[in-house]
């Protein structure tokens, strides 16, 4: 949690200019450690529903060991689900009406699978717009992941995602493009982020509508951007929530689609993810699978258990740090109404004095 500026030490001002959260003593004495209520709008299909829950819950839990988190899961009833998926949602999720009635401190919106190029034609489009517009007026900050970043850029800012020549798939290096923003305070200046997408929003599109790009990679493009006020809307274009094996699971799914005849080409490896030894093992497996397919004999089991121990995770600690910064800012903003003198003269578009 934040440092308290209990004296006139110049270092406090220096740290604040660098993006650290520094609060005055008269605000600190009004605070107590309390719970934070974070919504998780899960738009993923049934096959990824539980895995996505675990990924984001783990990231939230790892981000801060002091605050108590209540995570409220909900989804959109317009999304098609199997009887098993629907039963899971009915047993463990809340409705949007319940979410609105109780209120939230912050909201995370996951990615989603799409069926067509125009996002406005997807079943989730209108209900997602409703949730986002409600959150903008009633929630301190909303964090969007991948596909929902593209959706919000389209319906709120008129920026349509661009189809890439090939799928951006793998683990890619990124750099901070703005080092003093509170969301990236204390974060490595260079770090990795997984990506898995066919489309992207370019830096020029973010900047054309006044959004601030905080993290970008030469190969993968923009990863992290924020709204003009610096905090209310947070956009991830990558997947920092991914587990170590998430890309391996995706690769396995595509291999099995090839085996079933649902795709014509054998899938390429996710970039910058597999070691040379792992690739050699998977190349041998590809030969065995193709031979079995041609001879119409049983497909050999995918060597997931052999490959998984060889994988490295080079992104989780940075994702954890950024989410910890996000949680800290949510905590401070939602506590500010307890110290009216501190709020006097503070702009609602810059409640933490980020750009002062």
Is 254 considered catalytic here? no
Catalytic residue selected from 53, 239, 254, 320: 239
Q: Which residues make Cβ contacts (< 8 Å) with residue 1, sequence separation at least 6?
A: 33, 64, 66, 67, 328, 331
Catalytic residue selected from 37, 122, 146, 150: 146
Residues 231, 354 contacting (CB under 8 angstroms): yes
Q: How many CB atoms lie within 10 A of CB 307?
A: 21
Catalytic residue selected from 53, 200, 216, 241: 241
Q: Which residues make Cβ contacts (< 8 Å) with residue 66, sequence separation at least 6?
A: 1, 33
Torsions phi, psi for 230 (to 5 deg): 95, -5
215 - beta bridge partners?
176, 224
Helices 83-92 and 46-63 pack at an angle, to 10 degrees, of 30
Helix (H) or strand (E) holding 279: helix 276-295
Report which of 255, 257, 260, 290 is spatially closest to residue 274, judged by C-alpha positions. 255
Query: Which string of b and e fits 284-298 if b means at least 16 CB within 10 Å?
Result: ebeeebeeeeeeeee
| Joined tokens for residue 305 | 């258990």
Is 241 considered catalytic here? yes
Residues 223, 217 contacting (CB under 8 angstroms): yes
Is 239 considered catalytic here? yes
Residues with a catalytic annotation lie at 146, 239, 241
């Amino acid at each position: 949690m934040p440092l308290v500026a209990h004296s006139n030490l110049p270092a406090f001002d220096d740290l604040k200019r660098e993006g650290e959260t520094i609060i005055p003593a008269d605000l600190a004495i009004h605070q107590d450690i309390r719970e934070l209520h974070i919504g998780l709008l899960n738009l993923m299909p049934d096959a990824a529903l539980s895995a996505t829950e675990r990924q984001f819950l783990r990231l939230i839990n790892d981000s801060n060991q002091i605050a108590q988190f209540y995570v409220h899961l909900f989804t959109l009833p317009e999304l098609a689900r199997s009887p098993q998926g629907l039963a899971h949602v009915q047993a463990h999720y809340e409705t949007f009406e319940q979410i609105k009635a109780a209120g939230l401190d912050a909201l995370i919106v996951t990615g989603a699978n799409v069926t067509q190029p125009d996002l406005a034609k997807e079943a989730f489009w209108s209900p997602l717009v409703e949730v986002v517009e409600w959150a903008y007026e009633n929630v301190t900050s909303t964090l969007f992941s991948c596909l929902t970043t593209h959706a919000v850029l389209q319906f709120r800012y008129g920026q349509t995602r661009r189809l890439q020549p090939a799928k951006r798939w793998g683990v890619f290096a990124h750099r901070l493009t703005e080092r003093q923003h509170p969301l990236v305070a204390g974060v490595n200046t260079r770090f990795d982020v997984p990506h898995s997408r066919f489309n992207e929003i370019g830096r020029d599109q973010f900047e054309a509508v006044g959004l601030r790009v905080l993290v970008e990679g030469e190969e993968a493009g923009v990863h992290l951007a924020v709204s003009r006020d610096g905090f209310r809307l947070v956009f991830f274009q990558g997947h920092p929530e991914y587990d170590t094996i998430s890309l391996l699971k995706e690769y396995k799914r595509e291999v099995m689609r090839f085996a079933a005849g649902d795709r014509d080409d054998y899938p390429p490896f996710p970039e910058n993810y597999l070691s040379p030894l792992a690739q050699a093992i998977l190349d041998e497996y590809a030969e065995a699978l193709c031979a079995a397919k041609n001879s119409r004999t049983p497909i050999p089991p995918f060597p997931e258990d052999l490959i998984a121990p060889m994988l490295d995770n080079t992104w989780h600690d940075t994702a954890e740090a950024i989410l910890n910064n996000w949680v800290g800012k949510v905590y401070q903003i939602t506590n500010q109404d307890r110290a009216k003198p501190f709020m006097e003269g503070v702009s609602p578009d810059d409640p933490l004095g980020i750009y002062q």
